[in-house]
């Protein structure tokens, strides 16, 4: 058991390296190459003027492919890490911030790669993978004690509900991260005519599709959370800060959907709502640091 936990941690370390390298590759791919041009002009007087200019050029496609491959490595290592930990603990690793964030890293990578496949767009990785790496840095900064497997306190022992509630939350956050990335790229793509970025229409649509995954998942998170609260504490809604933060997030995406479907918002304004939505996601995710309340005992 000890060995499994250790091995799981080594896999996480390997995934960390793969994801970080992947983030670098994606960035290199999306930002493109900077080419310095030097023009020399000789005048009749015999002097030479030299002008230098920098131009952005499409990135090396190999870097993009490399990013994808490394991201898959990361996802596989992280998946193995989670599987080993599941074997060691006898339940999915979702009970403290270390475990929760590990699963988040895994799902964010996977959801992103699936979107990348279905839309054939690699540049998004330049936003999603750095977020993943940020998450990895956060996990490394957590107290080492959280890496050990501890038995659950009684209120967390409702396996099926807890697993569904928490893994759907992670899925929703991962989808919202992809939507956020699409919004960021959109805002870049319409401001600078960076020829090799995907078309703004595609990015706009991709953001919407990601929300159509995240929004129902988040609805289920709220519902299952209240069913669980009902079983554990006897009330299905406590107005607990973590609950209301999640509700707030959900409502922001509700505004996003309405402005699109009813007022025909696309593009810029939609993208800005997505940025607000993702800020709400982060706020909900790290809510434990702001609040006490029922959700605080997962151990940071």
Partner 1 sequence: MAQVSTPTAPARRARRSLPDLVVDRLWRFFCSVRIAIWEIAILALLVLIGTLRGSSVPQTVADAVPALAPLVERWYAWDVFHSLPFMVMLGLLSVAIAIGGMINRAPGIWQAIAHPTVATTHGFLRNAEASATLAAPAPPDVLADRMTDALRAAHYRVLTEERNGEIHLYADRFRFAKLGTFPFHLALILILVGGIVGARWGFRETEFIVPEGSVRGLGYGTGLSVRLDNFSDTYQENGQPRGFRSDLTILEDGEEVKRGVATVNRPLTFGDTVFYQSGFGQAVVLRITDARGQVLWDDAAPLDFVSSVNPDAPAAVIELPPAKIKLHVIAPDSNRGNAPEQDPLGLASGTMYFLPRPLGPDGPIGDAPGVVGRVGEVSEVAGLNVEFLRERRFTSLQVGRNPGIPIFVVASLMLVGGLAVTFYFPHRRVRGIVAAAPGGGSAATIVPLARRDWSAQRAFDRLSGEIEARLGLPLSRRRSPAEGPASATSRG
Residues 6+ apart with CB under 8 A from 17: none
CB of 125 vs partner 1, minimal distance in Å: 19
Residue 223 binds to partner 1 (criterion: CB under 8 A): yes
Return the one option of partner 1, ligand HEM, none that residue 204 interacts with (CB less than 5 to 8 A, by type). partner 1
Residue 192 binds to ligand HEM (criterion: CB under 6 A): no
Residues in region 229-268 near ligand HEM by CB under 6 A: 251, 254, 257-258, 260-262
Q: Which is nearer to ligand HEM, 227 or 247 (CB)?
A: 247
Binding to partner 1 by CB under 8 A, coded x per residue (else -) over 144-173, reads: ------xx-xxx-xx---------------
Q: Which is nearer to ligand HEM, 100 or 208 (CB)?
A: 208
Q: What is the C-alpha to C-alpha distance for residues 65 and 70, in angstroms, rounded to an integer?
A: 9
Looking at 275, 291, 294, 295, which residue binds partner 1 (CB under 8 A)? 291
Number of H helices, E strands in the chain: 8, 2
Residues in region 18-57 near ligand HEM by CB under 6 A: none
Residues 12, 13, 17, 20: is their CA dihedral positive or negative?
A: positive
Contact between 120 and 100 under an 8 Å Cβ cutoff? The reply is: no
Contact between 15 and 179 under an 8 Å Cβ cutoff? The reply is: no
Q: What is the C-alpha to C-alpha distance for residues 140 and 2, in angstroms, rounded to an integer?
A: 19
Residues in region 17-46 near partner 1 by CB under 8 A: none
Residue 121: which of 31, 206, 18 has the closest Cα?
Answer: 206
How far is CA 105 from each of CA 60, 99, 249, rounded to the nearest angstrom?
A: 26, 10, 20
Alpha carbon of residue 238 to chain centroid? 28
Q: Which is nearer to partner 1, 86 or 244 (CB)?
A: 244
> Which residues contribute to the site for partner 1 (CB under 8 A)?
150-151, 153-155, 157-158, 201-202, 204-206, 208-209, 212, 215-216, 219-220, 223, 226, 230-237, 239-241, 244-245, 247-248, 251-252, 254-255, 258-259, 262-264, 266, 290-293
> Which residues contribute to the site for ligand HEM (CB under 6 A)?
251, 254, 257-258, 260-262
């Amino acid at each position: 058991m000890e060995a499994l936990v250790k091995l799981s941690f080594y896999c996480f370390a390997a995934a960390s390296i793969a994801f970080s390298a992947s983030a670098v590759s994606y960035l290199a791919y999306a930002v493109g190459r900077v080419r310095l041009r030097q023009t020399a002009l000789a005048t009749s007087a015999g002097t030479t003027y030299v002008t230098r200019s920098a131009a952005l050029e499409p990135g090396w496609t190999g870097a993009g492919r490399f990013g994808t491959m490394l991201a898959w490595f990361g996802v596989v290592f992280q998946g193995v890490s989670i599987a080993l930990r599941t074997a060691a603990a006898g339940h999915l690793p979702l009970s403290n911030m270390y475990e929760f964030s590990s699963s988040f890293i895994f799902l964010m990578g996977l959801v992103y790669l699936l979107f990348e496949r279905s839309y054939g767009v690699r540049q998004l990785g330049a936003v999603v993978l750095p977020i993943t790496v940020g998450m990895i840095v956060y996990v490394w900064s957590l107290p080492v004690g959280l890496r050990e497997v501890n038995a659950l306190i009684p209120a967390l022992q409702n396996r099926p509900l807890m697993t569904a509630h928490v893994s759907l939350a992670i899925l929703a956050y991962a989808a919202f991260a992809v939507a956020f990335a699409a919004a960021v790229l959109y805002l870049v793509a319409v401001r600078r005519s960076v020829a090799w970025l995907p078309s703004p229409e595609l990015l706009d649509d991709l953001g919407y599709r990601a929300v159509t995954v995240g929004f129902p998942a988040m609805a289920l998170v709220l519902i299952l959370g209240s069913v669980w609260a009902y079983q554990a504490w006897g009330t299905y809604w406590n107005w607990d800060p973590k609950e209301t933060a999640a509700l707030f997030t959900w409502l922001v995406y509700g505004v996003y959907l309405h402005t699109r479907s009813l007022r025909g918002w696309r593009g810029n304004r939609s993208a800005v709502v997505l940025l607000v939505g993702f800020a709400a996601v982060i706020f909900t995710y790290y809510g434990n640091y702001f609040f006490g309340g029922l959700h605080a005992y997962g151990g940071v």
